[in-house]
Structure 1
Amino acid sequence: MSTFAVKALDHVVLTVKSIPKTIDFYTSRLGMKHETFVSKGGERHALSFGNQKINLHQSGKEFEPKAQSVQPGSADLCFITEHPIGEVKASWEAAGVGVTVPA
């Protein structure tokens, strides 16, 4: 049994071959809104709809943290919990779940 619970989905990260083509498809075909923002000194791109957000990573130029083996078409799910991340990590490790923290 889990010692914590996920409160909400924060965002999804899509790794894509072409950010401009991805933005065009999601905005023109699915009605999403394109947003740009600065994080860790670099310009980032996101697509929003309702209260949801998809962050875009350019394949080969991903931002940290990222999934271990990213490739175009892969995705990361980023969750929100009210529990301290250290407790979550310790709980997973105690259960034998591998946890890798980017450098």
Structure 2
Amino acid sequence: MGFIDHLDHLVLTCVDFEVTKRFYTEVMQMQLETFGEGRIAFRFGNQKINVHVRGSEFEPNAHLPVPGALDLCFIAGVRLDDVVTHLERCNCPIIEGPVERTGATQKIRSVYIRDPDFNLIEIADLQE
């Protein structure tokens, strides 16, 4: 067993902050958080996604911080059917799923969508 316990945050680079904010607060239902000197994050559970706007990244940052390079999987706290209904109400197209996948600890059932920067977003529920 290594010394890493869990992920605290990751950083997403976006093109248009207002469009990204709408997606992550309304579609993904994350909480908007301001911290530090005007920094922005989307909080969910005990984790968060910090946001950089392309061309105005905070230092230090990734070697090549580009929008659309992420492939993220989130575990929903509700049934996947409820997630699908919510996505449909938000007019957020599902590009694949529901499909069965193998998660970090067990089988999951997932749908795939894209955020405004074309990052791949997988939303899953845990299978019994």
- Runs of 4+ with deviation above 3 angstroms: none
The TM-score with structure 1 as length reference comes to: 0.61
* Corresponding letter in the other structure for 1:19: F
Aligned to 1:88: none
* Number of aligned residue pairs: 70
Who is 1:26 aligned against? 24
Q: Distance in 1 between matches of 2:32 and 2:24?
A: 9
Q: 1:73 aligns with which of 49, 68, 74?
A: 68
How far is 1:20 from its partner? 1.3
Contact (CA 8 Å) 2:43, 2:49: kept in 1 or not? yes
Q: Partners in 2 of 1:74 and 1:6 — Cα distance? A: 24
Q: Distance in 2 between matches of 1:68 and 1:55?
A: 16
Assess, with a 3 A threshold, how the Cα gap between structure 1 residues 74 and 44 changes in structure 2: closer, same or farther. farther
The residue number in structure 2 matching 1:57 is 52
Q: Which runs of 5+ in 2 are unaligned?
A: 71-128
SS of corresponding position for 2:22: helix
Give the gaps of 5 or more residues in structure 1: 76-103
Work out whether residues 8 and 46 of structure 2, in 8 Å CA contact, stay in contact via their aligned partners in 1.
no
Alignment root-mean-square deviation, CA: 1.6
The aligned counterpart of 2:4 is: 6
What is the alpha-carbon distance in structure 1 between the residues aligned to residue 60 and residue 8 of structure 2? 14
Q: TM-score, normalised by structure 2?
A: 0.50
Report the Cα offset of residue 73 of structure 1: 2.2
Question: Structure 2 counterpart of 1:63, which letter?
Answer: F
